[in-house]
């Protein structure tokens, strides 16, 4: 009875052993021409995206500097504000509200840029894992 079970188990496992492929890391398989072409295209696309992200980061940094300067001016104006003058207070409040809208819009742009940068970093890591660690041979 026990021998029959072992025989049945052996008959089940034997075909699996025949079809089992040794698992090798992707880096051990060379790139085909098509793979190399795809890797090069992906790399070019990532470089273009990185340039856009860098340009956007510079624009956001310049905007942050302007926002900080305007914020400092508003702070100085608030210190000198005649709070007994309703029209002066209303004018200051309007400037402050416009500034706050600008800050909110800037913060949204920075958050969106950060999200795109995170996606870019993930795509770059994926490209490196699939392409940078594999060899290409002319054969």
Among 12-16, 34-38, 104-108, 132-136, the range with the most confident prediction by mean pLDDT is 104-108
**Minimum mean pLDDT range among 8-17, 42-51, 129-138:** 8-17
Query: Distance between alpha carbon 36 and the CA centroid of its chain, in Å?
Result: 24
Sign of CA dihedral 25, 27, 29, 33: positive
Q: How confident is the model at residue 6 (pLDDT cuts 50, 70, 90)?
A: very low
User: For the residues 6-12, what does the mean pLDDT come to?
Assistant: 45
Rounded percentage of the chain residues whose pLDDT exceeds 90: 68
* Residues sharing a CB contact under 8 Å with residue 136, sequence separation 6 or more, in sequence order: 30, 31, 35, 36
Q: How many angstroms separate the CA atoms of 35 and 126, rounded?
A: 14
Q: How many angstroms separate the CA atoms of 111 and 108, rounded?
A: 5
């Amino acid at each position: 009875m026990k021998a029959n079970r072992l025989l049945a188990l052996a008959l089940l496992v034997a075909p699996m052993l025949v079809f089992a492929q040794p698992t090798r890391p992707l880096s051990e398989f060379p790139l085909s021409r098509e793979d190399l072409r795809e890797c090069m295209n992906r790399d070019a696309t990532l470089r273009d995206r990185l340039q856009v992200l860098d340009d956007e980061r510079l624009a956001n940094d310049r905007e942050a500097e302007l926002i900080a300067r305007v914020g400092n001016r508003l702070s100085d104006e608030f210190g000198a504000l005649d709070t007994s003058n309703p029209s002066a207070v209303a004018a200051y409040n309007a400037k402050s509200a416009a500034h706050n809208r600008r800050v909110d819009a800037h913060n949204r742009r920075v958050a969106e840029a950060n999200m795109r940068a995170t996606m870019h970093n993930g795509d770059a890591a994926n490209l490196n894992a699939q392409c940078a660690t594999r060899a290409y041979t002319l054969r």
